[in-house]
Amino acid sequence: MKIAILPGDGIGPEIIEQAVRVLNALDEKFEMETAPVGGAGYEAHGHPLPEATLALAKAADAVLFGAVGDWKYDKLERALRPEQAILGLRKNLNLFANLRPAILYPELAGASTLKPEVVSGLDILIIRELTGDIYFGQPRGVRTAPDGAFKGEREGFDTMRYAETEIRRIAHVAFQAARKRGKRLTSVDKANVLETFQFWKDIVTDVHSEYQDVTLDHMYVDNAAMQLVRAPKKFDVIVTGNMFGDILSDAAAMLTGSIGMLPSASLDANNKGLYEPSHGSAPDIAGKGVANPLATILSAAMMLRFSLNRAEQADRIENAVKAVLAQGLRTPDIYEEGTTKVGTKEMGDAVVQAL
C-alpha cells in the first residue's frame, strides 16, 4: 500500500507532519512518498501540479493532501495559482465523489456560533459531485457576446453541464451512504430555474427506485442554505452538484464552529481517494506551530477506511482523537476557558500517545 503525501502550502506541511506521525504509530507500516503541490509545486517546478507529483498521485493507492494557497501567488495567472492543483488532481484522478462530514463533537459545542440546542450532536454528511458541473464545463472564457441584449459587448461565460452517467454514479454513492446511516437523502438542486438541475432531479429520482429503503427528498439550494441555518440536524445525507456543494459544505462545516476538526474524502469509482482537511492553508498562522492537525489526522483515518480498507485502524485513530478531546486538549482555534491550550505538535503527540 503506497500513500502519496502532498503537504502543500501554509499550514499544510505542519499538519501533514502530525498525520504522518500518527500513521507511523500504527502497527502496520505504509509506504509513503512526498511531493510538492500548490505554491510549493510552483516554487519547485514552475507549476502548481508538477508532472512528477501527478504521476505519484496516480501511482499511489491513496493521496493525503494538506492544503494549498497563499496570498503571495494572487498575482500569478490563474493556471499557475495553487488552487489549480486541487482541481487538476480531482479531474485527472477522476475523484468525482466528495464526502464531507459536518460533525459537532459534544466537547466542542461551545465553539459554534449557533445555539447549542440547534447544533449539539450535529452529524450530517454532504456528498458533493466533484468533477463535473460549471467547474469544468466547456465552453468558457471571455468573448464578444454572440447574442442577447448585450450582443457585441465583452462578456464572461461558463457552461454548467451534467451528463446522465455523472449524475447516476454520484446518486449511487449518496444512496449507499444514506443506507449506512439514517436512511434519509436530500438531493439539492435548482430545478425551478436550471435545466441542468431539472435533469439532475429526474435522474436522482430514477436511481431512487433501486434504494426504496432510503427516503429521498428534493430541496432547492436557496432553501437548503436556509434550512442549514434553521435546523441543520434535520438533515442526514445531502447530495448535490459541484458548485452548490462547494457553498453548502463550507456553510455546514462552519455551523460546527470547529472547521479545524473536519476531514474530507474525494473518491473515484474504485474507492481510490484523496484525503484532505476541510479547512484551508491559513497562511497567516503558518509556521507558528498553532494549527489544528486533527482534521488532517481524521482525514488519514478516512483514508484507512475508504481506500486502504483498514476500518479497524481508522476506528483506532478516531477514538484516539476523541480521547484527546476528552482530555481537554485544544489548539487555539477550538480553545475555551477551562481546557488546555496546546500547539500543533503537542496535539500530534497526544494522539500518538492515545493510540
Q: Is 246 in the site for ligand IPM (CB under 6 A)?
A: yes
Choice from 52, 55, 163, 193 touching ligand IPM (CB under 6 A): 193
In the complex, minimum distance from the CB of residue 31 to ligand IPM, in angstroms, rounded to a whole number: 27
Residues in region 217-236 near ligand IPM by CB under 6 A: 222
Q: How far apart are CA 100 and CA 128, in angstroms?
A: 8
- Choice between 81 and 310, CB closer to its own copies: 81
Q: Which residue has the cell 482530555?
A: 327
Q: Is 142 in the site for its own copies (CB under 8 A)?
A: yes
Q: Can you spell out the DSSP letters for 312-345?
A: HHHHHHHHHHHHHHHTTEE-GGG--TTSEE--HH
Say if strands 263-267 and 273-277 run parallel, antiparallel, or are unpaired: antiparallel
- Evaluate whether 36 touches 5 at the Cβ level (below 8 Å): no
- Choice between 98 and 112, CB closer to ligand IPM: 98
Q: Which residues contact 5 (CB under 8 A, 6 or more apart)?
A: 16, 20, 32, 33, 34, 35, 64
Q: Is 154 in the site for its own copies (CB under 8 A)?
A: yes
Q: Is 4 helix (H, G, I), strand (E, B) or coil?
A: strand
In the complex, minimum distance from the CB of residue 216 to ligand IPM, in angstroms, rounded to a whole number: 22
User: What does each C-alpha distance from 31 to 62, 266, 299, 340 come to in angstroms?
Assistant: 11, 21, 17, 34
- The reply, when asked if residue 289 is annotated as ligand binding, is yes
DSSP 270: T
Choice from 5, 23, 86, 167 touching ligand IPM (CB under 6 A): 86
- Choice between 109 and 126, CB closer to ligand IPM: 126
- The reply, when asked if residue 283 is annotated as ligand binding, is yes
Choice from 32, 76, 80, 160 touching its own copies (CB under 8 A): 160
Q: Which residues are catalytic?
A: 135, 190, 222, 246, 250
Q: Is 195 in the site for its own copies (CB under 8 A)?
A: yes
- Evaluate whether 223 touches 231 at the Cβ level (below 8 Å): no
- The reply, when asked if residue 40 is annotated as ligand binding, is no
81 residue type, one letter = R
Q: How far apart are CA 165 and CA 75, in angstroms?
A: 38
- The reply, when asked if residue 342 is annotated as ligand binding, is no
User: Does the bond joining 106 to the residue before it have cis omega, within 30 degrees of 0?
Assistant: no
- The reply, when asked if residue 110 is annotated as ligand binding, is no
In the complex, minimum distance from the CB of residue 106 to its own copies, in angstroms, rounded to a whole number: 18
Indicate left, alpha or beta for 148 from its phi (over 0: left) and psi (-120 to 50: alpha).
left
- Choice between 196 and 307, CB closer to its own copies: 196
Q: Which residues contact 13 (CB under 8 A, 6 or more apart)?
A: 7, 66
Residues in region 65-84 near ligand IPM by CB under 6 A: 83
What string marks each residue from 259 to 298 as x (binds its own copies by CB under 8 A) or -? x---------------------------------------
- The reply, when asked if residue 187 is annotated as ligand binding, is no
What string marks each residue from 94 to 113 as x (binds its own copies by CB under 8 A) or -? -------------------x
The x, y and z cell numbers of residue 59, run together, are 501511482
The x, y and z cell numbers of residue 68, run together, are 494549498
- Evaluate whether 7 touches 22 at the Cβ level (below 8 Å): no
Choice from 192, 319, 340, 353 touching its own copies (CB under 8 A): 192
In the complex, minimum distance from the CB of residue 278 to ligand IPM, in angstroms, rounded to a whole number: 8
Beta-ladder partners of 62: 3, 273
The x, y and z cell numbers of residue 113, run together, are 456560533
**Which phi and psi (to 5°) does residue 60 adopt?**
-75, 165
Residues that bind ligand IPM (CB under 6 A): 83, 86-87, 192-193, 222, 246
Residue ranges of the binding site: 90, 100, 128, 222, 246, 250, 280-292
Residues within the interface to its own copies (CB under 8 A) = 78, 81, 83, 87, 113-115, 118, 134-135, 137-138, 140-142, 145, 147-150, 153-166, 190, 192-200, 221-223, 225-226, 228-231, 243-244, 246-251, 253-255, 257, 259
Q: Which positions make up the binding site for Mg(2+)? A: 222, 246, 250
